[in-house]
Amino acid sequence: MADTGNPPRETGLEARVARLESDVSEIRSILNRLAPRIDEMYGFLTAKLSELATKAELTSLRPELRSEIADLRNELRLEIMQRPTRRQSVFDIFAVVGLIGAILTIAARFTH
């Protein structure tokens, strides 16, 4: 083989380098699109961080919430107990119907 002075051609290596350059270019374009979103999220978190509750604050709320839930359960239990049962409702309906029937019977006797 005669030395022509030209570097040997390695097409496989050149193809890999071209694909690598293409991939790097694609990664750069994705990062350029993501950068404003990341900055936006960082700004939002920085602005809202002071408003967020700490773990200690949330832990201190737990007993208060438990007592409020217990109070609500007791109120609901009392309200449910004060409502009439189905048997009471049926009895009340029969009592009202019977009372209306008695009144109509008495009124009919007075009209004759």
- 43-61 pLDDT tens trace: 999 999 888 888 888 889 9
Structure tokens at 98: 């019977």
CA distances in angstroms from 52 to 37, 61, 62, listed in the order given: 21, 14, 17
- The distance in angstroms from the start CA to the end CA of the chain is 142
Nearby residues of 92 by Cβ (< 8 Å), 6 or more positions away: 84
CB 92 within 8 A of CB 84: yes
- 64-111 pLDDT tens trace: 999 999 999 999 999 988 888 888 889 999 999 999 999 999 999 988
pLDDT at 6 over 80: no
pLDDT band at 32 (very low <50, low <70, confident <90, very high): very high
* Predicted local confidence at residue 8, as pLDDT: 58
